[in-house]
Structure formats: C-alpha cells, structure tokens
Amino acid sequence: MEIYLSILNILLEVYAGKNLNEVLIKYNNQDNFPKIKNITYGILRNYYSINYSIDKLVKHSNLQSRILLQIGIFELKYSKKPEYAVINDLVNFSFDLTENEKIKNFINGVLREYLRQVELLDLDIQKDYSLKYNIPDWIITKLKKQSKENYLQILNGFNHHPAFGLRVNKRKINQDEYLLKLDEANLEYKLIQNKICLVKPINITALPFFNDGFISIQDIAAQSSIEILTKYQIQPKYVLDACAAPGGKTCQLLENINCKVVALDIDETRLNKVSDNLKRLNLEAELKLGNAMNKLWWNKNLFDLIIADIPCSASGTLKRNPDIKINRRESDIVNFVETQRNIVINLWDMLDTNGFMLYITCSIFKEENQDNIEWFKSNLNDFELIEQFQIIPTEYNDSLFYALIKKR
C-alpha cells in the first residue's frame, strides 16, 4: 500500500507541472523504488489511452480517484498481477486513504467495468493515433506537418521503452574487449551501428568495471559528435562545452581527442555531476558555473570548437521523459527558440575564425533545429553550414539533431 501512496504523491506533483526525474529522486531510497518507478513510468507512457478508458467509464472523478483508476488500469492491462489482487489492493488502499465507503465502491465498480469493456475500449484506442501511440494531438499534428514522409516511423520510434546505450572509454579499454566483459557477466547486448545497446536495463553498478571508468551510459544517438568531428577531420585544441552537464559529450570528447575542454553549465548541482563523471573516467576539464547567454565567466581566449548542446523541449526523448508529453505546451517552443538563439549569438563571439560549432538538440521540432539554423545563417557573420541531420527515434535510440557550423 505504501507503493500506491508513493505513486499517488509522485503523480500529483507531476500533474502539477513538476519534472518527473526531480520528483522521483525523493523516493529512490525506498525498498520498493523499482516497482514505484515502473508503475509511474507505465502510467505516464500510456497516459492518453488510460485516460481515454477512464473518460469512457466515468462521468466525473476528482484527481485523486483518477490516479487510483490510472494505477488500476495500468496494472490490469500491463502487469502480471492477478486481476482480483489488483482490484482488491486498490479498493483497500482507496478506503485506507479516504475512509470513504463511496469512493471504495466507486474504484471497485469502475475497475470491474473496465474489465468487462476492455476489448471494446482497445478497439477504439487502435483507431486513434494519439491514443494508440500515447502522444498528445498537438505533437502528432506538428510531426505530420513537419515530417510528412516519416511521421509514422517517428511515432513508432517513440513507442518503446527507452534504450540502454553504452559508451566505452577508449582510454581504458577497447570496445571488443569490453564486449567480452559483458559476455562474461551474461549481459545481453546488440550492436547498432557499432554502438552498444543493452537488451535489458540494469542498475549501473552491475555494469562491469563501471566504477573503474571503463564504461558510461549514453543514448547511442547522443554519441554522434565524435563521428562528425572525425568525418571532417576536426582536431580541436581548445573546446567549450557550453551546456555541459551531466558531461556526456565533454567526457566522450576527452576519451577520444587530446584537447583542453572548458565545461560550462548554469546549474551547480548538474555541474557537480560533470565533475563526478570526469573523476570516474579519469579525465580532466576546466569546470565553470555560468550562463552561456553572457560572457562573465569567459577569459577572452577564443575556442576552436564550441559544443552547444542547448536547452530544448527535449521532445526527442519522450520515451525517457514521458512527463514531457503531458506538461510541455506547444506555446513553450517559442521560449526555447529564443533562449537557443540568444545562447548561440553570445557563443559566436567566442569562436575563433575557422573554428567550428556543433549545435545539438534533443528536440524533434523543426523550429528548434532546421529553422534555427536558417535564422543563424541570416543573423550571424561568417556563418557556414557544413552539415545538419536529425536522428529519427527507434527502439534503440532517442531523437537528436546535429548541425556542424563553421566560422569562416
């Protein structure tokens, strides 16, 4: 029952607009945390179809009762727990919580009615993309407009559990040797474009040689910066990672290229994570707490590469952050675009002539990606676009956008 209380409180916070990861941190010491996380993520991933079923079954419900029904429907549809146990536990929990006989009977009645109607409800759900893919209509409409040819592929790509990408620290071990360690630990993996994806998620501490810094977790779509630099034979000496935390791209760069990196981030707690990751991987960078929209932290030395892995709608990570589809509004995008433009304008002055900027977002929306690049073209001096591409989400990766820009 403690599990249900935690899930109820987490969802109340998320529905009030809080970030799911930040809310979950408060619960990760609880013994039953994996179960809490599994049910909470499950409800948010299937939010639209579960709510559709509730709306079909009841005329009115307050938020608390709705969350209890969400838990019930999620468990009835997606868990192996016997139906009678799901209903029994939730009915008992609703009474313990409210001491209200009416609410207890309401939960009991609606969940039993759900079981009677589930097949019909599922037929409806299959007919509507928003319900089938559990993505809000505004995102579907936008994707349909922006990516006519492959929007269904994108929707399918979002319709999976997040993948578990790994990046080998080549300064410690080569990838083939590390694959043998995974074999020895009986951890199943797939190689996708020669990048490692674990078949089942595990606790990071169970990854062989994690604490020794042989390996990091990084979605495989987030691992493309080195390939781009290699493709254009870019060997930077002095690099700014302008939005660096938790340090995935900074560390990957240092694992592959001998260079000096300034890792900047506006958030101190997140910047501490960069420090932890560098230590674990036995790498070094200069950490700076500061705002990429101003120059207060800058020592006036020009950079020959700037990585701008910029704050964005994170709409390319819907699988990993399902609360985004509930709390993000279409109207938020203009604010992200404004921030992105202000950051890049400010960073442009810090880039040396013939230097490169790698502009990266984990957004699927054109406004934050291709449209911004067009805007930079018209508004930044000496701007030359070398290459831009969007990685489409699949069962193995999130969606990221990359643009390599040169300052002539």
- Is 37 an interacting residue with respect to ligand SAM (CB under 6 A)? no
- Is 220 an interacting residue with respect to ligand SAM (CB under 6 A)? no
Residue type, 290: G
- Identity of the residue, 20 or 71, whose beta carbon is nearer to ligand SAM in the bound complex: 20
* Least CB distance to ligand SAM at residue 108 (A): 45
Residues numbered 311 to 350 that lie near ligand SAM (CB under 6 A) are: 311, 343
- Identity of the residue, 136 or 316, whose beta carbon is nearer to ligand SAM in the bound complex: 316
Region of 32-40, 168-176, 263-271, 391-399 interacting with ligand SAM (CB under 6 A): 263-271
- Is 244 an interacting residue with respect to ligand SAM (CB under 6 A)? yes
- Is 247 an interacting residue with respect to ligand SAM (CB under 6 A)? yes
- Is 162 an interacting residue with respect to ligand SAM (CB under 6 A)? no
Dist. CA 405–CA 305, nearest whole Å: 10
Query: Given candidates 257, 266, 302, 386, which one binds ligand SAM under the rule CB under 6 A?
Result: 266
- Is 309 an interacting residue with respect to ligand SAM (CB under 6 A)? yes
Tokens encoding 239:
């690099």
* Least CB distance to ligand SAM at residue 373 (A): 17
Active-site option among 197, 251, 312, 362: 362
- Whether residue 96 contacts residue 9, with contact meaning beta carbons closer than 8 Å, is answered with no
Tokens encoding 58:
């009841």
- Is 243 an interacting residue with respect to ligand SAM (CB under 6 A)? yes
Residue type, 346: N
Dist. CA 179–CA 183, nearest whole Å: 6
* Least CB distance to ligand SAM at residue 264 (A): 6
Burial level of 273, CB count in 10 A (0-12/13-18/19+)?
Answer: middle
Number of residues that bind ligand SAM (CB under 6 A): 18
Region of 108-116, 161-169, 264-272, 321-329 interacting with ligand SAM (CB under 6 A): 264-272
Give the residue from 330, 392, 333 showing the smallest Cα distance to 160: 392
* Least CB distance to ligand SAM at residue 249 (A): 4
Give the residue from 384, 289, 285, 299 showing the smallest Cα distance to 350: 299
Region of 103-111, 229-237, 258-266, 349-357 interacting with ligand SAM (CB under 6 A): 258-266
Give yes or no: 362 in active site: yes
Catalytically active residues, by annotation: 362
Residues contributing to the site for ligand SAM (CB under 6 A):
243-249, 264-267, 270, 291-293, 309, 311, 343
